[in-house]
Chain A
Amino acid sequence: GENVEQHPSTLSVQEGDSAVIKCTYSDSASNYFPWYKQELGKGPQLIIDIRSNVGEKKDQRIAVTLNKTAKHFSLHITETQPEDSAVYFCAASTPRTGANNLFFGTGTRLTVIP
């Protein structure tokens, strides 16, 4: 099955700086890559996603890039704010008949220092 690796496991940045989280996947058939933000005691919140026919997608301060050849994708957060502090998970979905279940990375705990 699909294997998703995520780095770093923890990341601290000063407020206003950028944060980058990287993930790799193993199954070249994977075609959907979402990113989730999870705050303490809450469920994961979908913040941005990208499909395999696109190389980059941006939504305000958040952007995701995808390199299909190298099988890696990254989350970029610019002008970080304290409220960006959370655990971020990448995931990949490999299309199979009737199922789109997600394979998650192990998470990155982002701390934005005011």
Chain B
Amino acid sequence: NAGVMQNPRHLVRRRGQEARLRCSPMKGHSHVYWYRQLPEEGLKFMVYLQKENIIDESGMPKERFSAEFPKEGPSILRIQQVVRGDSAAYFCASSLGQASYEQYFGPGTRLTVT
């Protein structure tokens, strides 16, 4: 049973470019969370999605960041016009359902903005 998959594992972008991070939840999971981790810090919640719906985006920066979880395919976190401060590890987690608390994390995407 495959776990949460994320790709790419490492992504390098120049300032001003776009970054697209992908997350495929565990089989049978329909809920996806995105978190950001700065070096030597804990994880910060960004956004929570179900299929075709954004449930909670209270942790997402208002500009340049967007997320989607289409009916088919992976969830995507998109960062437009990246800046150096966007450099971080981005993790997605999936859970079975709203009533299920356990969240299982993927290996993360390490974004470096040069």
**Candidate in A34, A96, A100, A107 with the most chain B CB atoms within 10 angstroms:** A100
Question: Is the C-beta of B25 less than 8 angstroms from some C-beta in chain A?
Answer: no
**What are the residues of chain B within 8 A of A51 when measuring CB–CB?**
101
**Candidate in B33, B98, B103 with the most chain A CB atoms within 10 angstroms:** B103
Compute how far the CA of A51 lies from the CA of B108 in the bound complex, rounded to whole angstroms. 27
Min CB–CB distance A35 → chain B (angstroms): 12
Given contacts A43-B105, A46-B102, A46-B103, is CB(A98)–CB(B55) below 8 Å? yes
Question: Is the C-beta of B104 less than 8 angstroms from some C-beta in chain A?
Answer: yes
**What are the residues of chain A within 8 A of B74 when measuring CB–CB?**
none
Q: Residues of A within 8 Å of B, CB-based: how many? A: 24
Chain B interface residue number, banded: 20 to 34
Compute how far the CA of A105 lies from the CA of B43 in the bound complex, rounded to whole angstroms. 8
**What are the residues of chain A within 8 A of B35 when measuring CB–CB?**
102, 104
Question: Is the C-beta of B45 less than 8 angstroms from some C-beta in chain A?
Answer: yes
Determine whether the beta carbon of A43 is less than 8 Å from that of B45: no
* Mask: chain B, 3-28; 1 = CB below 8 Å from A; 0 = not: 01010000000000000000000000
Question: Is the C-beta of A42 less than 8 angstroms from some C-beta in chain B?
Answer: yes
**What are the residues of chain B within 8 A of A89 when measuring CB–CB?**
42-43
Min CB–CB distance A98 → chain B (angstroms): 5
Within 8 A of A (CB), among B75-114: 91, 95, 98, 101-108
* Mask: chain A, 86-99; 1 = CB below 8 Å from B; 0 = not: 00010001001011
Given contacts A42-B107, A43-B108, A44-B91, is CB(A102)–CB(B45) below 8 Å? yes
Would you call the interface of chain A mostly helix, strand, loop, or mixed?
Answer: strand
Determine whether the beta carbon of B48 is less than 8 Å from that of A106: no
Compute how far the CA of A6 lies from the CA of B43 in the bound complex, rounded to whole angstroms. 13
Determine whether the beta carbon of A34 is less than 8 Å from that of B98: no
**What are the residues of chain A within 8 A of B40 when measuring CB–CB?**
107
**What are the residues of chain B within 8 A of A43 when measuring CB–CB?**
4, 6, 91, 105-108
Q: Which residue of B lies closest to A2 (CB)?
A: B45
Interface positions of A (Cβ within 8 A of B): 6, 32, 34, 36, 42-46, 49, 51, 89, 93, 96, 98-107
